[in-house]
């Protein structure tokens, strides 16, 4: 494969969770193009399985979609150096009030490879303990729900669950453990 060469990277805007850059790229055919890049510090998600086999899910409003979504618990890293397993366990406790002693990596995904480098490591958590109340951020309103794998798979096939990390997490868990 011929080489692509970045000629310039300009920061367009800093955001709370992302930075937006515009790259000037030399294409192998000699053309020069402007490409957008969303730089993200990374995230972790967790498929949390209760003792009864049901998966913990969180229902929350998502501004980009202007509606509520049903997702597996997840959140951004507190810095690029934070281990994603620790972040997954932190998000599980913060969003659901449940905790676990360890997690197992199910999958790693890049959410939007055309213009964003966001990577989400998706973990499996079993042997859950009820820790107490949720510890939500000031801007979070999250409702915790629980569903069977079959119910969740049907919601995916009915296009009721459309979040990529959630679809990946549920289907990976179902394929590996069911």
- Are 45 and 58 in contact, with CB atoms under 8 Å apart? no
Residues 6 or more apart from 170 whose CB is under 8 A from it?
Answer: 47, 55, 72, 149, 152, 153, 156, 161
Q: Which residue has the tokens 């049903």?
A: 70
Q: How far apart are CA 135 and CA 26, in angstroms?
A: 47
Active-site amino acid positions: 138
Backbone angles phi, psi at 86, to 5 degrees: -65, -40
Beta strands at 74-76 and 43-49: parallel, antiparallel or unpaired: antiparallel
Q: Which residue has the tokens 């969740």?
A: 152
């Amino acid at each position: 494969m011929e080489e692509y060469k970045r000629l310039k990277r300009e920061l367009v805007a800093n955001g709370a969770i992302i930075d937006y850059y515009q790259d000037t790229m030399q294409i192998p055919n000699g053309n020069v193009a402007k490409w957008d890049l969303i730089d993200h510090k990374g995230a972790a998600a967790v498929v949390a399985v209760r003792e009864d086999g049901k998966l913990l899910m969180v229902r929350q409003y998502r501004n980009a979609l202007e509606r509520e979504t049903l997702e597996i618990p997840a959140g951004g890293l507190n810095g690029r150096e934070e281990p994603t397993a620790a972040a997954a366990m932190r998000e599980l406790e913060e969003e659901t009030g449940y905790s676990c002693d360890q997690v197992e990596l199910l999958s790693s995904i890049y959410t939007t490879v055309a213009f964003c480098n966001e990577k989400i490591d998706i973990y499996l958590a079993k042997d859950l303990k009820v820790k107490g109340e949720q510890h939500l951020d000031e801007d979070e309103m999250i409702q915790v729900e629980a569903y069977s794998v079959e119910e969740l798979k049907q919601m995916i096939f009915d296009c009721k669950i459309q979040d990529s990390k959630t679809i990946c997490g549920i289907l990976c868990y179902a394929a590996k453990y069911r």
